[in-house]
Amino acid sequence: MERTFLAIKPDGVQRGLVGEIIRRFETKGFTLVGLKFLKVSRELAEQHYGVHRERPFFGSLVEFITSSPVVALVWEGDGVIASARKIIGATNPLTAEPGTIRGDFGLNIGRNLIHGSDAPETAQQEIALWFKDEELVSWQPHLTPWLHE
Ligand code: DAT
Ligand code: MG
């Protein structure tokens, strides 16, 4: 079953949007399999955003993500990686569609509330980077027959 990694960034936590953001994935019908609340170390931040190391915004991105706690999440479901990206919206909240998390709650590309894995390979890498195997919970929601034919 497909899994993706999401993180509610420091701005989402500070603005009291943790419940609202989690609610969107819960009510869509995806299954929560991992959740933790943590202050991100510089090492973890630099690994997580390693692909952006050469970009001009890398320093401020690492500063921001380590500045205040985040909520790390793993969600499971058919097509969850692409669907979560749609629920999150475009990288720049100003141009993100209304109805998406970034479109509804954000203004600025450096304060875009939530991270979501962009492909199966990055999802796998990010889940392994942020969670130990034993921190992920496989379970069968009783709602399944009401969500899937
Ligand atoms: P996304 O988070 O939509 O996957 P990304 O992987 O291209 O976007 O970039 C990672 C984060 O870096 C993004 O959420 C916000 C920040 N970022 C990206 N492009 C930026 C830019 N041009 N200026 C400032 N921050 C930027
Ligand atoms: Mg990305």
Residues 105-138: pLDDT tens digits? 999 999 999 999 999 999 999 999 999 999 999 9
Ligand 1 pocket test: pick from 61, 100, 117 the residue with the most ligand atoms within 8 Å of its Cβ.
61
Helix (H) or strand (E) holding 12: helix 10-14
Is there a catalytic annotation at residue 48? no
**For residue 40, what pLDDT is reported?**
98
The distance from CA 70 to its chain's CA centroid, rounded to whole angstroms, is: 10
Pairing of strands 3-8, 70-76: antiparallel
Nearest CA to ligand 1 atom 13: 91
Q: Is 108 in the pocket of ligand 1 (CB under 6 A)?
A: no
Residues 67-101: pLDDT tens digits? 999 999 999 999 999 999 999 999 999 999 999 99
